[in-house]
Each structure stands twice: as C-alpha cells, then as structure tokens.
Amino acid sequence: MSVAGAVPNPLEQRSLANLRRRTSAKWTTYDADVLPLWVAEMDVDLADPVREALERALRDGDTGYPGRTTCAETLAAFAEQRYGWSGLDPARTTLVADVMTGAMEAVKLVTDPGDVVVVNSPVYPPFFGFLEAAGRTVLEVPLVDGRLDLPGLEHSFAERRPEGRPAAFFLCSPHNPTGTVHTADELTEVARLAERHGVRVVVDEIHAPLVLDGARFTPYLSLPGSGSAFSLMSASKAWNLAGIKAAVLVAGPEAADDLVRLPWVVSHGPTHLGVIAHTAAFAEGGPWLDSLLAGLADNRACLTGLLGTHLPDVGFTPPAATYLAWLDCRALGLAAEPAQVFRERGRVAVNEGEPFGTGGAGHVRLNFATSRAILTEAVERLRVAVAQDTPA
C-alpha cells in the first residue's frame, strides 16, 4: 500500500486564476466571478503516471481505436490491493464508454421496457434520466437518515413486478450525493433480499477509490448471494478523468451468460486514450490517490468547521466517501431555492437538490475537491448570501 503524503497534495497545486483558464463545463457554465463548486470535477492536475502515459501515446501518434488492453487486469489487482477482493475475474468483464452507459446496458440485459428499476433517492440525477430514456419505470426507495431502507427495499422487491415481470435494483455504492459508504452487513442483506425476490442488482461503484479514513468499501460482488449482479467500476472520479472516459462492466459468476449477450458495439464506446489513462491510474496511480485522499479528509474537516462557525443552521453529515457535501439548507428560511440564492447573491455555484429525487428539495450538493483557500472563500460567500437573503 502506498504511503499517504508521498505526493504533494493534488488539491493545492493550482491557483484560482490558473484554474479559470480551463474550458471544461465546470469553469465555463457560469460567469467568471462565480466560484464553481458544483459538477464532480476536481481542481487537480493529472497524476504523473496518467499524464506520462497519455503524453507517450500522443508522441507516438497512438490515437487509433482501442486494442488489446490490460485495463481489467490492472483493475483486478487494484481491487485486491485496496479492497482485499481477489474475485474480480477479467474474463467476466468488458470495457464500456462510461459507468452510466454500461449500467444501462446491464439494465437492458436483465429487464424489458416498462419494467421496474429501484433506486435510492436522493441519488445522482442521471439515474432518473437514463432509466426513463431506456423506457424503465423508476421506483424510489428513499434513504432513511442517509442509509439504505432495508425494510423499504424488501417491500419494493416483493411488490415490484405485476404478472411476474423482471425488475432490477440500481444501487449507488458509495452513495452520491450523501457520501454514505454502505456497510458489508447492509449490502449482504441487499443481496439476500434481491436473491429471494429475483431482483437483479446493478451497482455503480465509481466512487469506490474515494473512501476516506474511518470507512471501508465493500465490493458488492464480493458478498454471498451477489453472483447474478453487475458492477460498474472506473478511474474517472478518483483520478479526475471525466473528459477521458472509460469504465469496466463486471459480471458476477451467475451473470456471465448475460454478459455474453451484450451487443458487441457496446465495447466500442471507450476511447483508446481513455483506456490508456484508466489503465495507468489503476496500475500506477496509488501514491497520487493516497495523497488526494489525505487532502480530501483535511478539506472535509475544514468544511465541517467552516459550516459550524459561519452557517450553523445548515445540516451536514460529513461524508464517509467522495468529495461531495450534501447540505440541508431548509432551516435557513431562504426566499428562493438555496442553490439559486447561493449563485445569485453569493456567486457560488452548487447543485440544486431537487433533481436528486425524493429528499432533495431544500438541499444542495457542494464539491469540496478544491484548495483550502477556495473552499474558505466559498463558505464566506455563502454566509454573506444567507445574511442578505434572510430578513433582519
């Protein structure tokens, strides 16, 4: 295991003026005076092994179609080192364009149009959009105090399908936006319930490498009863590779035959440079990731302190994973939707909570994967925005 601190904190390497030269959506969606703490993009440089692998490919003109790759093998080695899971079999994997594309292809393998897919709200908004575009019926089983509602899941699984039609459970683990890390016991119970009721599980595990100190990630496919499930894994979030997409769709032992039915064109989604970048991240990006995790833990503590001092009425449970803070702003008594107030009066962009589904109204999602200086300035701006919006 790599030693945290061996690489300088990636979150403190870029000034605000330097970051504003970027042309990604994070930095161009809003006016130049707005601090963008919304979309899941970190204010970091590429990890050296990733940058070097991409530079080598560009020097060689290696920009064609993806070919033979060790991406699945490096992911398997990473999973064994980081999670203690040796059961990721590269033979039961395929490359896909990204996590959401791969997840929808897995959902299509095990359900038909009109079938029910269960989700735990509040959850990443594309869960709803992608499922609706695929013609599936979304059934929300909201989290309870930030954790899985196991009795609610059992009820939804039991009542899920008229006339015995198939159903699926699209699980986010670790959870976005709350940063909840589902425990091994919780996930084992999910597997038991799904197996009992014939529900197929598809798990978005994109934030798995971003579990912070004090918590432990459990791969869903490592658990008893999970053999019919699919997992989606990627280096995208942990190494800031959203613009260089790739992901790995992993099938449990009992889902291997389903994976064979996946249309061959699906594997054409990831780019060659994306596969190169993700392979390098899993194979050699450990020291950089360790330093990032230490920096995120520091920022989490910093944000907790800043909110407690300047916005004590904001409800906040520090996340056990991710770099996303789910803030309950209902007690602030704002005249408008909180994200709108923060953007218009404070010049800070955060995600509006309502698109995350049931439980999202009155909340915002804030991305704290930035420098301490930017994070501190952002919370000060939020304080000013609340003071201006709240009647004296």
Max Cα distance, the chain (Å) = 65
User: Is 11:44 a contact under the CB 8 Å cutoff?
Assistant: yes
Which of 37, 106, 370, 86 minimizes the C-alpha distance to 247?
106
Q: Is the peptide bond before 338 cis (omega within 30 degrees of 0)?
A: no
Q: Which two tokens stand for residue 342?
A: 């923060």
What is the predicted pLDDT for the residue at 160? Answer: 67
User: Is 26:36 a contact under the CB 8 Å cutoff?
Assistant: yes
Q: Say which CATH architecture domain 10-46+286-389 belongs to.
A: Alpha-Beta Complex (3.90)
- What is the distance between the alpha carbons of residues 96 and 78, in angstroms, rounded to a whole number? 19
What is the predicted pLDDT for the residue at 1? Answer: 36
End-to-end CA distance of the chain: 54
Which of 288, 297, 370 minimizes the C-alpha distance to 26?
370
Does the domain made of 50-284 have the CATH classification 3.30.300.130?
Answer: no
What is the predicted pLDDT for the residue at 68? Answer: 87
pTM: 0.95
Q: What is the DSSP letter of 324?
A: E
User: Is 202:230 a contact under the CB 8 Å cutoff?
Assistant: yes
What is the predicted pLDDT for the residue at 32? Answer: 95
- What is the distance between the alpha carbons of residues 49 and 276, in angstroms, rounded to a whole number? 10
Low pLDDT (below 50) residues in the chain: 1-5
Q: What is the DSSP letter of 198?
A: T
Domains in the chain: boundaries: 10-46+286-389, 50-284
